[in-house]
Chain A
């Protein structure tokens, strides 16, 4: 069950990427979960959806998971958008 720690680490990365690129919304996140990472993709996806609202920029983010090699969990790419300025 270390998926929660990893999801929270990912959320911090998402926030930093938004700041770095001057965007306020993440619409899509693609991660690669290594086969030997001991991370269960379903648990990771479940927890991501459960806690993503903790980071405002990620509230509406969709998660795509690819199976990778090795032990690492890698943030491959993000799709960023401007926040809805009408709000």
Chain B
């Protein structure tokens, strides 16, 4: 500081930065995107609140598609290997990432996951599924380098959720209503959920399914197969 008046003098420098704090995450996400291209894979980022049925749907998807496509899975959780064990039991490569408390995956963590997948077997994939940490708010803010963001909402959670947690539903290219086998037990309105989601995100595709009864799973498998074969336009 300047001794005579305390103004800071020439030593103080004000820099106008105007840069997003998320820039670094975006930069790493772009790296992930390049890496996925090199691996030849399409990546889906599955996001929902805890227990909406992400792992159950993945188990079913892998069982149906693993003979047709090379599938790798990145599991994000706050703690434990439990979801990775469930996926491993399906016989496909899986990397468990634990965030150590954080409620979302970041591009840098997923980057580690991609290196992990590359190191298993031949390291070549058609499809990479990223199961995000169960949370309806935070994951939406972080670009992971995925091709498709998928928002899942289960019937027991209630059909007002797209309005209450708009960030995720605004970002998603696909919205899946899960556990539709439970519709008769809850006051969930499919119309309301879909109307609210479209109000926030007019272009969003919507599927309804139950990973338990199998209802609607066929359309999802078709969607995934379309991605794997590059038939579906991927939103940048």
A77 surroundings in chain B (CB, below 8 A) = 14-18
A77 to chain B, nearest CB (A): 5
Q: List residues 106-146 of chain B with CB under 8 A from any CB of chain A.
A: 106, 137-138, 140-142
Count contacts on A: residues with CB < 8 A to the other chain: 29
A44 to chain B, nearest CB (A): 10
Contact A17 B15, CB 8 Å, known A5-B102, A9-B22, A9-B25: yes
A59 in the interface, Cβ–Cβ < 8 Å?
A: no
Q: Is the CB of B104 within 8 A of A5?
A: yes
Q: Is the CB of A38 within 8 A of B141?
A: yes
Contact with B along A1-28 (1 / 0, CB 8 A): 1101110011011000100010100010
Contact A9 B16, CB 8 Å, known A1-B138, A81-B8, A81-B11: no
Q: Is the CB of A36 within 8 A of B21?
A: no
A73 in the interface, Cβ–Cβ < 8 Å?
A: yes
Q: List residues 1-56 of chain B with CB under 8 A from any CB of chain A.
A: 1, 8, 11-25
Q: Is the CB of A13 within 8 A of B138?
A: no
Q: Is the CB of B20 within 8 A of A72?
A: yes
Given contacts A2-B102, A5-B106, A77-B18, 14 further A-B contacts (CB under 8 A): A1-B102, A2-B104, A2-B141, A4-B102, A13-B19, A13-B21, A27-B12, A74-B20, A75-B18, A75-B21, A76-B17, A77-B14, A78-B17, A81-B13
Query: Could you jot down 23 A-B contacts, CB within 8 Å?
Result: A6-B22, A10-B21, A13-B17, A13-B19, A13-B21, A13-B23, A13-B24, A17-B17, A21-B15, A37-B141, A38-B137, A38-B141, A38-B167, A71-B141, A71-B167, A72-B22, A75-B17, A75-B18, A75-B19, A77-B18, A80-B13, A81-B12, A81-B13
